[in-house]
Structure 1
């Protein structure tokens, strides 16, 4: 066996869910992740309430009620809760926190997050008499929900930034168990590693993969390939290999499941596609807080750059081709 030492992996048998007995968890932010975690925790026997903004302006109130949850204003929910679990998007958290949460927190409560952004970069500064923890399921809300319903879960991590009670980690782990992540495994890490690792992943893995697909499509079309073929090669083909690689590892996939032509292509030409220097630069910028600063500034200005890119990409040849392709060849 390899001599690589893995960090401690917490599974169901390692975590005491009764830590949450008699405690109320208020979910603040009933979006994709909020809905999934709320429903999973409720089905694990946890008492869940939802805190939402003005009912006349926020559809999340009606959605949570339709799902059978008691819904209160954010202020009321914080007053009633033992654990306040914030699942709002990062740049929106500070204004909601200081308007509706901060002054309602009581000593001994737990303030919980699903991403460490606000704590790491100081846009939220909790009082010193509450526990501050983190639980992150490593996947989008619908996947977290579906895995739970299937009897499985999605890998996650926990972290503690402030441990007033002496039991903050037990609380974070109990939340992760209630959501279903300890069914497959949860690890402990710092707020910094979780936050900046996630920021780096989204820039390099998601950003790099999507731009790779777009560039490949554009080059093939520019050189006369049929759009349907270029789209299938640039987008759909990757679906056929990801699950295999995840199941058996890269080397086993290349040597036992891929063709020899594919294996040679990966080993011979793959490295030329990757700009390792740029990846290092993005990593360093992420750790210096450059990405966080740029994103907070973009959000504060109303997301003008993001909105323009959305419009440009939506009108692109690739997106129009993709819509037709999916209609003709299925999803």
Structure 2
């Protein structure tokens, strides 16, 4: 693995230069990769693997929306699209890409097809890390590993089609064949990773659940709402409040951070913005760090897993979820957002 220095900390990572696609295909040339689930990660990973020349099949329930989606994406029934059990039987590498709740429900079926020599692949450490709650305990004799793209399956596919990639973590839980490392890194490159960095199943799920509830989704939505509400309460219009809270961040500043870093973005804004941002950065860090500590402890203790499993197990879960999403969707800030997005000029 290549050694990369990150601000004084050295990490070993796997890049496309040291593991080119030709080598990845050679490693997996005798494998049948069965992608089980065609929801969030399944389409992007399956299509990228297929386009990169790997032997891929998809397993999905027939007469479902996702079965129809797979067919619309070019998968052919009886050729590379099968009912789940048939795909499990045919596959030598089982890519278990159902939702966490879906993995729990289907596990007894999957487990009986995990014969010695096969591999079980995840893109999230939830099922294994919280195995006491999920019941997902792989049998001996199979390799168990994960490659976790740091983004949605939609982004993974979009970036692949643009000739780019998402960074991914990888981890090995069980190396029965002695080839788990080469298989998981080959898969990570095959699904479209820009580079791969090592982790563990436990660390992957702890960072992932913290990130989703934190800066990736929960915290950023809460901060948006707080600033928008303050501006509106002080007499600012919805357009002004939304543009200053969300639009400028997402359309102007974050692309610059993504391209060049936060320091570059700071250096290329007005001196007034620089001074205020540098001063208030510390206040926001000090105010929110205790919340992040509380969040991480809730994740690492298994409390967040318990809440998730219990919520997803309720018969009216979908109805309750839709009610919460409707409340979010119909709040003024996101109603304003819908209107502002309509006013964005078409790209020239």
Distance in structure 2 (CA, Å) of the matches to 1:2 and 1:42: 33
Q: Please identify which structure carries the higher helix content.
A: 1
- TM-score, normalised on structure 2? 0.89
| Structure 2 residue 130 is matched with structure 1 residue 121 | yes
Aligned partner of 1:175 among 187, 192, 199: 187
- Note the C-alpha offset of 1:40: 0.8
Trace 1:16-31 onto structure 2 (pairs within 5 A): 16-17=23-24, 18-31=26-39
The SS at the match of 1:6 is strand
Bigger CA drift: 196-205 or 311-320? 311-320
Bigger CA drift: 158-167 or 88-97? 88-97
* Residue matched to 2:253: 241
| Structure 2 residue 208 is matched with structure 1 residue 193 | no
Residues 38-95 of structure 1: CA deviation (Å, up to 9, x unaligned)? 1110111101111011x22x12112212322221111110100110001111122111
Equivalent residues of 1:114, 1:135 under 8 A apart: yes
Trace 1:41-80 onto structure 2 (pairs within 5 A): 41-53=49-61, 55-56=62-63, 58-69=64-75, 70-80=80-90
Distance in structure 2 (CA, Å) of the matches to 1:30 and 1:161: 24
* Residue matched to 2:162: 150
Bigger CA drift: 224-233 or 309-318? 309-318
Go from structure 1 to structure 2 and tell me whether the alpha carbon gap of 1:310 and 1:330 turns closer, same or farther (over 3 Å shift).
Answer: farther
* Residue matched to 1:321: 336
- Note the C-alpha offset of 1:320: 2.0
Question: CA-atom RMSD, angstroms?
Answer: 1.8
The SS at the match of 2:11 is coil
* Unpaired runs of at least 5, structure 2: none
Trace 1:1-331 onto structure 2 (pairs within 5 A): 4-15=8-19, 16-17=23-24, 18-53=26-61, 55-56=62-63, 58-69=64-75, 70-98=80-108, 100-122=109-131, 123=134, 124-181=136-193, 184-205=194-215, 206-239=217-250, 240-255=252-267, 257-273=268-284, 274-301=287-314, 302-303=316-317, 306-329=321-344
* Unpaired runs of at least 5, structure 1: none
Q: How many residues align?
A: 325
Residues 183-227 of structure 1: CA deviation (Å, up to 9, x unaligned)? x31111100111110000111112111111111111211221111
Distance in structure 1 (CA, Å) of the matches to 2:43 and 2:10: 32
Distance in structure 1 (CA, Å) of the matches to 2:146 and 2:99: 15
